[in-house]
Amino acid sequence: MTRISVLGGSGYVGGELLRLILTHPACELQLVTSRQYAGQPIHRAHPNLRGMGTHRFEEFNLEAVAAKSQIVFTALPHGKSLEVVPELMERGMRVIDLTADFRLKDLAAYKDYYGFEHKRPDLLQEAVYGLPELHRSAIKEANLVAVPGCMAASAILGIAPIVAGGLIDTTKIVIDAKIGSSGAGISPTIATHHSERSGGVRPYKVTGHRHIAEIEQELSAVCKDHVKVAFTPHAVNMVRGILTTIHAFTLQDLTDRDIWKAYRSYYHEEPFVRMVSDRKTLYGLPNPKVTVGTNFCDVGFELDPHVQRIAIFSALDNLMKGAAGQAVQCFNIITSMDERTGLNNLALHPL
């Protein structure tokens, strides 16, 4: 059994981490921190976990975490992991970080996209971007894994095989993401208030969204050339899930067979990427509804020869393959377990 601690366990991502860790056959939860809920049982923040042991939230104490943990998951607010992760690593712990604090390799990008000066460029170079489909071997040896942003993960998984195959113009990629309310986190704002969100579709951060930096970084590495994307997210009236639509323009005439070949060669051994392109079924293209609660990312496409376009669709649960499930998949890789361990659940239907 691996001794696990979770820092920042009272949010939506923290709750999903606890749900997965408490039922994982190789995890022994040691402690979980929350300033707001310190001293209270974990079901006070996560009522679905009632009856799952006697764990209580604790205040963060570095020495206690170091004494009890082998691997630490950090689900803190952006900017806070940077304060604690270096100290955890200095005490010999491996860290799986779910914030944005170590995702980017370019130091200047933190100033441009997050508005702060990153103080540990050494750890930026050491951190491994936690997307197993791209970095599996590096994740296995990593002391610091930086779990991707949820919309970035959806976009990258959707288009990486096409970029890798040199099939499109990598200077003109347009990405549209629609995300449920849980993506905004647990702290309410006027924009996430139900009466404002319900019944509408709200574009936000229309240009310059911070996930652009991740998407461009990872896709550029895939094709060993500079990739540029336009990205706009939309808040929609669902709780969980992301549907990402990607518009890419081909460099030559392509057939469905060409596209299928690119995806199959890239993902044929991936346990959590499912190709969905069946015009005879209700969900003939990816729909986040059938990924909720799972670690799957569903990917599909249609060719549009009229404008030499590939319309790519990618769907996942933002709290699972977009966060906690992805983190547990990385944990499984680090500990040399089957990647599917603790992640074999299927979505409910209907939901």
Q: How big is the CA angle at 134 (ends 131 and 139), to the nearest 5 degrees?
A: 60
SS3 letters across 203-223? ECCCCCCCHHHHHHHHHHHHH
| Token code pair at residue 50 | 């009632």
Q: Which residues pair with 146 in a beta bridge?
A: 97, 129
In the 3-class helix/strand/coil scheme, how is 236-269 assigned residue by residue?
CCCCCCEEEEEEEEECCCCCHHHHHHHHHHHHCC
Catalytic residue among 150, 223, 297, 330: 150
Is residue 104 within 8 Å of 120, Cβ to Cβ?
A: no
- The verdict on whether 150 is a catalytic residue reads yes
CA distances from 97 to 41, 51, 147, 261 (A): 24, 27, 6, 34
Determine how many CB atoms are found less than 10 A away from the CB of residue 298.
Answer: 27
Ramachandran angles phi, psi of 230, nearest 5°: -105, 130
* Active-site amino acid positions: 150
